[in-house]
Amino acid sequence: MKSQTKKSIIYLFPLFILLNVLTVKATTKIVCIGASITYGAFIENRDKKSFPSQLQYLLGPKYKVFNYGVNGTTMLKNGDNPYWETLQYREALISNPDIVVIDLGGNDSKQINRKYLGELYQDAVSLIKNFKKLKSTPRIIVLLPVTSFVKDKSGIWDPVINKQIIPSLQQAAMDMDVEVIDMHPLLIERADLYLDMIHPNRTGLGLMAGKLCQVIIQPRDQQFKIDLSEYELIQSSFYGYKNQNFLFNGRQATIVEPKIPARGHPWIWRARFFRHEPQVDIALLEMGFYIVYIDTAELLGNKACINHWNSFYAYLKQLGLSKKGFFEGMSRGAIYVLNWASQNPDKIQGIYLDNPVLDMKSWPIGLGSATRDEEVYNAFLVDFKMNGKESKLKSFMASPINQIDKIVSGDYPILILCADSDKALPPEENTFIWEAMRKRFNGNLTIIHKPGYDHHPHSLENPYPIVQFISNQYYKSIK
């Protein structure tokens, strides 16, 4: 059993990923365009400590990173200091780059620029187009702005970044089919890593460089593409990624596609509450994972639910996705995941549970301290054919807690994120019971405790610990 609390994170790469840097056959030229954070404003010895310089150090001699940052510049052509008018922009265009990293948008949130924010999407599209049409056909990566802790609403204001800047950049990245990396959560709990509440210090910039490095050198399959042509598709945006919606055996299904699939075509299956607290899903998309979902609400992991999941899993294999997948169960979603896992332990690479329902007698039945949800409870009675058998609820044995041996027989790791003050799903009736049975997990259970937290919010503002748990298992599978 591993038990830990939230703590500061540094990026540590698996040896396999670091060795991948050394196998690059020719020098890859990377240009980083952006404003003061890219430039390295206020950083002592910025030639070595700016984030492009630290990226160069991490990537090694097979890459050549150029810093074209200009202090105070905007993505907006009508901004107070447009990047478009700089010498560095022209130099970047003629440099014949292999990779272009675009880190603009923070200065666009200033009050002086907000009246032009309706133009931000089109200006971002135009900038991306200008690099896409280069003869070098570069790989383009758009960085979403890091968190700003400034209190002055006239300055670089985080609510504007969150609600207006980031959605515009995500949509531009999706429509232009280029990569997008969400840097905003990376330092969201680390104001101590800022020089002035706007500019990260060298450690914060190192974290930015680490995340970007991991995306750049992630093993990818450039040729792979899934074929969903047999279905009538409704396409939408999932935070800058192509979200394909279709009916599968009468159920709404969704597959979100990464920009460049990772080697082995990994995926994570969101069991319930699609789009809710999507931090983990977004980070995995950046790494080349697919996000998959089928709406089986509110079957609560019963036989019909498992049959639907079996069919959808078979279809994922048919599409060419990996044989084993990762599963994400938030709240009641854990029932869906674990009941299916009890019958399919050989198809699972890892499971992430978040404030999970593990004993249905606790919820939705309500025999413990949890408040019964009448709507879900009535669905439960139908799903498990318990109508008229309420006297037998105390002996109900179809909960995940009753199937631990079957669930863990596949010897895959399980991560539980547990809010220790959860009133809706008391951990004393769910997670803590599993924790007490730790010997039966043979070391494959990790619990991240969130002291003082209630049921909401799920996930972590910076999802790195969860993503690292998943990515470590993925790297092991492709060695």
pLDDT at position 240: 95
> One fold for both 2-217 and 234-477?
yes
| Distance, CA of 228 to CA of 59 (rounded, Å) | 36
CA dihedral (274, 280, 283, 285) positive or negative: negative
CATH number of 2-217: 3.40.50.1110
Q: What is the pLDDT, as a whole number, of residue 3?
A: 40
Strand partners, 414: 351, 445
- Give the Cα separation of 302 and 399 in Å (integer): 10
pLDDT for the residue 433: 92
pLDDT of residue 11: 45
Strands (E), 205-345: 234-238, 241-248, 251-257, 267-270, 290-294, 325-330
Angle between helices 120-132 and 166-175 (to 10 degrees): 40
In the chain, where are the structural domains located? Answer: 2-217, 234-477
Question: Which tokens in the block code for residue 109?
Answer: 């949130």
Question: What is the predicted pLDDT for the residue at 380?
Answer: 96
Contact indicator for 138, 99 with CB cutoff of 8 Å: yes
Per-residue pLDDT of the chain in tens (479 residues, 90 and over written 9): 344 433 333 444 454 444 454 454 569 999 999 999 999 999 999 999 999 999 999 999 999 999 999 999 999 999 999 999 999 999 999 999 999 999 999 999 999 999 999 999 999 999 999 999 999 999 999 999 999 999 999 999 999 999 999 999 999 999 999 999 999 999 999 999 999 999 999 999 999 999 999 999 999 999 999 999 999 999 999 999 999 999 999 999 999 999 999 999 999 999 999 999 999 999 999 999 999 999 999 999 999 999 999 999 999 999 999 999 999 999 999 999 999 999 999 999 999 999 999 999 999 999 999 999 999 999 999 999 999 898 999 999 999 999 988 998 888 999 999 999 999 999 999 999 988 887 776 668 999 999 999 999 999 999 999 999 999 999 988 87
What does the chain come to in residues?
479
Which sign, positive or negative, has the C-alpha torsion 151, 462, 40, 73? negative
Secondary structure element (H or E) that encloses residue 174, with its range: helix 166-175
State the pLDDT at residue 437: 82
Nearest to 130 by CA among 84, 76, 171: 84
Looking at domain 234-477, which of 3.40.50.11540, 1.20.120.530, 3.40.50.1820, 3.40.50.2300 is its CATH number? 3.40.50.1820
Token code pair at residue 305: 């639910």
DSSP string, 277-292: S-HHHHHHHHTT-EEE
pLDDT given for residue 436 in this prediction: 87
